[in-house]
Structure 1
């Protein structure tokens, strides 16, 4: 989906924000309303959505502020745990879909070792880029 298509579907204008990356990787955010939600665009299409807003949940109800155990329970048997790149006690809790058609997508929860501090959803490899468009 392009930014224009997403803007029309959501009924809110998405505006480019400072990304720090190359022209082929940009970030957009809603002009009004929802804060803490950023859309990564690579090669003209949305490839990842970054969420830091505790009001935004996954379809299963996972959100910022949930415990690591809550995430593991919600997605039993589908979470890979990896050490966080910058948070010494933190983790990446990575939801890996079981359906074949969804194998190139992930939901990645960042934690401080106890609670979810932010999460992102998108396609590989972009969803795994630790520093976004940097």
Structure 2
């Protein structure tokens, strides 16, 4: 009886430890875990226990994938800077093939591309160790119309920055300091945020511009460079 009690106590301790890991430690790291807060009955049929084991195994796989994504080497384009004219060696007006040659990367059409006339292309990842292409990087999108890149979007969670070292997570105050008197602010049509657009005098062109999109807290959630008026389109290719 004492041996059985020790086993049950040990199981309860493990469950409490797992709960603490998922409810306190992992959220503090910005990660997530399937809820393990429900108490585990002391006696269960083997089928029910196997279901729990499988569920936790899936949760562990999800966590591993999240950690691997955070620890992966940055894509070459994520190290480039956004300017009014493009992203690193990729210039507005290039074809996708010209961009691929210039940046030495490959691109794939985004799965949610809306039409044949307007498409988004995503840069593919590359596993140097195994010399194989991997999943596309979803933080950078090249809008192509009539076989020309007319806009480059930098989406949430991307580490890409501008020449002024501003990117996702920057504040309106930082933008206004970096581009003093050179930004026009307009309300976002669908949210409580704003658009901050580089003026023609600041960009040195009536053809290209740089647009920052902020949330209701004044934090940059995404930004883009591109030709006018495409760079101002709220819904991209939609």
Query: What's the TM-score once normalised by structure 2's chain length?
Result: 0.53
Q: Determine the structure 2 residue equivalent to 1:2.
A: 95
Structure 1 residues 68 and 19, CA gap change in structure 2 (3 angstroms): same
Structure 1 residues 66 and 50, CA gap change in structure 2 (3 angstroms): same
Q: Determine the structure 2 residue equivalent to 1:42.
A: 145
For 2:220 and 2:195, locate their aligned partners in 1 and report how far apart those are by CA, in whole Å. Answer: 9
For 2:123 and 2:140, locate their aligned partners in 1 and report how far apart those are by CA, in whole Å. Answer: 8
Q: Deviations over 1:46-80 (max 9, x none)?
A: 00000024411111112010001111111111100
2:201 alignment partner, SS class: coil
Extract structure 1 runs of 4+ deviating beyond 6 A. none
Task: Please identify the structure whose Cα radius of gyration is greater.
Answer: 2
Per-residue deviation, 1:119: 0.3
Structure 1 residues 100 and 106, CA gap change in structure 2 (3 angstroms): closer
1:69 alignment partner, SS class: helix
Per-residue deviation, 1:21: 2.3
C-alpha root-mean-square deviation of aligned residues, in Å?
A: 1.7
2:114 alignment partner, SS class: coil
For 2:144 and 2:112, locate their aligned partners in 1 and report how far apart those are by CA, in whole Å. Answer: 10
CA contact (8 A) 1:19 1:133 kept: no
Structure 1 residues 100 and 115, CA gap change in structure 2 (3 angstroms): closer
Q: Determine the structure 1 residue equivalent to 2:71.
A: none
The alignment status of 1:25 with 2:144, answered yes or no, reads: no
Number of aligned residue pairs: 133
After superposing the two structures, state which structure 1 stretch, 6-15 or 26-35, moved more: 26-35
1 or 2 for the larger relative contact order (CA 8 Å, sep ≥6)?
A: 1
1:82-97 aligned within 5 A = 82-87=186-191, 89-97=192-200
Which consecutive unaligned segments of at least 5 residues does structure 1 have? none
Structure 1 residues 99 and 119, CA gap change in structure 2 (3 angstroms): closer
